[in-house]
Amino acid sequence: MAQSIDELKGMVTRKGGLANPTLFKVMLPSPSHFGVNRTSVRDLNLLCTGVSLPGRQVMTNERSIGGVVQKIANGTATSDINMNFRVMNDYGVKEYFEAWQNAAINQGTINGQETIEMAYAEQYQHQVKIQQLKKGFGIPIYQTALPLPKLPPEIQNRLPRIELGPFGNLDFAQGELDLDFQTRDQVVYECTLTDAFPTTMNEIAFSDASVNGLIEFNIQLSYRRWFRTDNGSSPLGAFGQTLSTIRSIVGL
């Protein structure tokens, strides 16, 4: 058993660690396609709390040859993708999917009369990408306190935090300069949905029992097919892979 554990630990190190279900990214169509300006592609990704990678089922027919029944593949079937989003007070994420659905079936009025207008598929079907990420790592370089005057906590806590890209940040609220080398999250798996659009937009329930609760919004995307996207090698190449291995060995 000890040998099996050592082999498992070696495999985990060799393969870059275990996949983390909390590290993911969704890449949806630009809101500008649907005339929405209160949200952005980045906002949609930040507000997404849950998504699933698509599955696939091979459809079959049975064929009897020489008294032996065999299943023969004759097609594939996929299920819709569920996505959950946090809702802000501007309801921008709901407005986005309402506009996307209206791009498929526009429900409006003409001369005061209610009308429903169907669109062509190419007008509302778009590509969507779902990514599984691997968390980047940081190497401490330098940390020191900033020479700031002593301020009341209610003022100091409102001071900004300035990001310095991959080299750390200036945190005025905490009064410190923190320099380190950080790598971005790495995409380890990516799939693309083709001809996707939201077919189901679920209701949002209100309740006075949820005093400290958050509102979440659920939608279902239908699509024609999906395929895995080849992302190539790590952004840092062999150097990044070497650092990742060292990080795993020393437990960083």
Q: Spell out the domains of the chain, with CATH numbers in brackets.
A: 19-135+185-250 (2.30.110), 138-182 (no CATH)
For residues 43 and 188, the answer to whether their CB atoms sit within 8 Å is no
- First and final CA of the chain: distance in angstroms? 26
Nearest alpha carbon to residue 75 among 58, 55, 61: 58
Ordered mean pLDDT values, 10 residues apiece, the chain (252 residues): 76 86 94 90 94 94 89 93 96 95 83 80 94 75 68 68 63 63 77 96 88 90 92 46 47 47
CA distance 207 to 142: 49
- Residue 178, pLDDT score: 62
> What SS3 string covers 111-123?
CCEEEEEECCHHH
- Residue 208, pLDDT score: 84
197: left (phi over 0), alpha (psi -120 to 50) or beta: beta
- Residue 209, pLDDT score: 81
- Residue 235, pLDDT score: 43
CA distance 155 to 161: 14
- Residue 246, pLDDT score: 44
Nearest alpha carbon to residue 229 among 135, 134, 136, 132: 132
Query: Who's near 248: CB < 8 A, 6+ residues apart?
Result: 12, 13, 16, 17
- Residue 252, pLDDT score: 46
pTM exceeds cut of 0.85: no
